[in-house]
Amino acid sequence: MLISLDHITKTYTGDTGPIVAVDDVNVSVDAGEFVAVVGPSGCGKTTLLLVAGGLLRPDGGKVTIDGTDPYSLSGEQRARLRAERIGFVFQQFHLIPYLNVLDNVMAPALVTGETTARERAEALVERFGLTGRVGHRPGQLSTGERQRVALARALLNEPRVILADEPTGNLDGDNSDQVLQALKTFAEDGGAVLLVTHDPDAVAFAGRQVVLQEGRLAVPVS
């Protein structure tokens, strides 16, 4: 099991009292699986994704990523785990505005310091059809291109897991398909993909889906 979320609970402190964002959720994603978490806005999808990514400590339950509980590690070790085993793709792309396409793709290598990162980055740039845009900055790219750069960045360190939060939310149909197909391919190659979305078209690319409603699993795994 590459991703295991076991009885995860997360509560925020709001102005009017505690808000339960995720309530006793169990999700697991095996190698080769592409799982979509769907649900309306505010149902706790993103919170669940951040918890799974080792970015948000849950109040209860256990997280295991590729056999390691990230929250049992120190902050620096957890960061290292994220860099080496997890790829993130976000709706807002989160590209670094002053780096060109190639440097953005290579950004995870800042942490690992790998010397072969450049070749892999160039291969990813070519794979996602960005060769002609290598020297361009994010501000000079279309939204589809930006998301492809983000996807290439997520894949640079050859992670075991990809966590994607509404990656197609800002994309047109063609670009969405391109991104989702890439995620599917990643899963088919033995990785694990946990996709958070409310886009029905995106769900079609997933092998199975999990529905969240008000922080709880609404429907059993289909």
Partner 1 sequence: MKISRLVVQEIAHRFVNFVLAVIGVSIAVACLVASVTMIDAGKIQSRKLVDEGEIQSQQLVAKREQEVKDAGKKLNDEMRKITKGLGFNIVVLAEDEDIAAFHAEGTPTRTMPQEYVDRLANSPIVVINHLLPIVTKKIEWAEEKQTIVLTGTRGEVPQAHRDPKKPLLDLVPKGKVVLGYRLHHSRKLKPGSKLTINGRELEVVKCHAERGSVDDVTAWVNLEEAQQMLGMQNLVNAILALECNCATVDRIAEIRGEIAKVLPGTQILERGRKALARAEARNKAKKTADASLEAARKSGEQMIASRKAQADQMIASRKAQANVLVPLAVVGSFAWIVLLAVGNARQRRGEIGILRAIGMGSRDVLVLFLGKALLVGLAGGAIGYVAGFLVGTGYSGPLEQSLFDINWLLTALLMAPALSAAATWLPALVAAGQDPAVVLQEQ
Contact footprint for partner 1 (CB under 8 A): 46-47, 50, 53, 55-56, 75-76, 79-84, 88, 90, 92, 94-99, 103, 106-112, 117, 153
| Residue closer to partner 1, measured from CB, 85 or 217 | 85
> C-beta of 67: minimal distance to partner 1 in Å?
18
> C-beta of 108: minimal distance to partner 1 in Å?
5
Counting beta carbons within 10 angstroms of the beta carbon of residue 153, is it exposed (0 to 12), middle (13 to 18) or buried (19 or more)? buried
| Residue closer to partner 1, measured from CB, 98 or 219 | 98
| Residue closer to partner 1, measured from CB, 72 or 112 | 112
Whether residue 24 contacts residue 15, with contact meaning beta carbons closer than 8 Å, is answered with no
Distances (CA, A) of 94 to 18, 24, 55, 211: 29, 30, 15, 26
| Residue closer to partner 1, measured from CB, 4 or 91 | 91
Q: Distance between CA 74 and CA 59 in Å, rounded?
A: 17
From its phi and psi, is residue 68 left (phi > 0), alpha (psi between -120 and 50) or beta? beta
> C-beta of 98: minimal distance to partner 1 in Å?
3
